[in-house]
Structure 1
Amino acid sequence: MNSGYIYALKNRSFGSNIIKIGMTTRKPDVHAKEIYHGASGVPEPFDIAFACKVADCEVAEKKIHRRFNAYRSNKVREFFIIPI
């Protein structure tokens, strides 16, 4: 069991209804900065729309991704077309 955070990130370059939903064992703001600095295809930084500490972030992420699977923008990415 890994305690950590579930987060929803927005990026104004992607439009208002594209949300990245994921998990991290670090602070969400640190993770958001890492994603931005580590990806050459992201023109602007991510903003944290939601973050919540959970007892098991891996299990929580799997449940959330399963629940929102129909809203994925790409079946192998953590981006969903849903309003925050």
Structure 2
Amino acid sequence: MLVLTRKVNESIKIGDEIEITILSVSGEQIKIGIDAPKHVEIHRKEVYLDIQNENNQASQTSVDLLKQLNINFKNAR
């Protein structure tokens, strides 16, 4: 993990397209601004993990449904 120290209004660049700017610091909270192209998805980590979990559950449901449909189709013959 890279650890950097930045002050308010200072930025960090990630590649050519992403810039993270420190907007304010208040106690233990830090506000950051992220400037990135629209095709780059940006989520808080807990939201990202929830999305991944939902996607995994949806894909598993699809596999289970296809298996059941296949069984039903074979039995209908």
TM-score bracket relative to the smaller structure = under 0.3
Q: Name which one, 1 or 2, has greater alpha-carbon Rg.
A: 2
Larger RCO (alpha carbons 8 Å, 6+ apart): 1
Between structures 1 and 2, the one with greater helix share: 2
TM-score by length of 1: 0.23
TM-score by length of 2: 0.24
